[in-house]
Amino acid sequence: MISVFIFLAVDFFNQINMLYGTITEFCTEETCPVMSAGPKYEYHWADGQTVKKPIKCSAPKYIDYLMSWVQDQLDEESLFPSKIGVPFPKNFLAIAKTILKRLFRVYAHIYHQHFKEVVQLSEEAHLNTSFKHFIFFVQEFNLIEKRELAPLQELIDKLTSKDR
C-alpha cells in the first residue's frame, strides 16, 4: 500500500505540474492576485514548518510554494525512503494526506479560474482524466476531508456517479 501510494503521489504531482505548466501564462499576479477556487474559497500559504503564519499571495506564488513543498517532501529520504528495508516514519500517512490535500487545491484553482483556457488548449479531457483518477484514489482510502473537497464537490459527484 505505501509503495503504491508513493508511486501515485509522484504521478499525480507530475500530472498536475504538467497541466498547470500549460496554463502558467494565464495564471499571473494580475489575473490571479489571490489563490482561489471560485468566489467562496481563498487559500493563504503556510507550510506549518518554515511558514507558520499564513501568507496571502497570488495564485502563481501559492502554487510555486505548494509544488516546491511537495517536491521537498517527496525528496525527503526520511519520509519516503528509497531503500528497501528502511522503515517509513510514523507520521507518513499524515504527511501523505497533507500532500494530497494541497495538490487538490491546484486542481480546484485550475477548474474554477482556468477551465476556459484548458478547453482552448484542448487539455480538457486530460485534466478530467487526471482529476478523476486522483479523486477515485482519494475517496477509496478516505485521504482528504470532505470539507476540503467542497470547492469541487459538484464535479466530484458528477465524475463519481457516472461510472459507479
Ligand X SMILES: *[C@@H]1O[C@H](CO)[C@@H](O)[C@H](O)[C@H]1NC(C)=O
Binding residues: 27, 32, 109, 114
Contact window for ligand X (CB under 6 A) among 34-42, 62-70, 77-85, 121-129? 121-129
Coil, strand, or helix at residue 28?
A: coil
Measured CA to CA, the distance from residue 92 to residue 29 in angstroms comes to: 34
Residue from 29, 42, 76, 124 that binds ligand X (CB under 6 A)? Answer: 124
Residue from 128, 136, 149, 150 that binds ligand X (CB under 6 A)? Answer: 128
Taking a C-beta distance cutoff of 8 angstroms, is the pair 128, 158 a contact? Answer: no
The contacts of residue 88 (CB under 8 Å, 6+ apart) are 2, 79, 80, 81
Q: Can residue 35 be called a binding residue for ligand X (CB under 6 A)? A: no
147: its cell numbers: 470539507
Q: Quote the least distance from Cβ 128 to ligand X, whole Å.
A: 4
Residues that bind ligand X (CB under 6 A): 124-125, 128, 155, 158
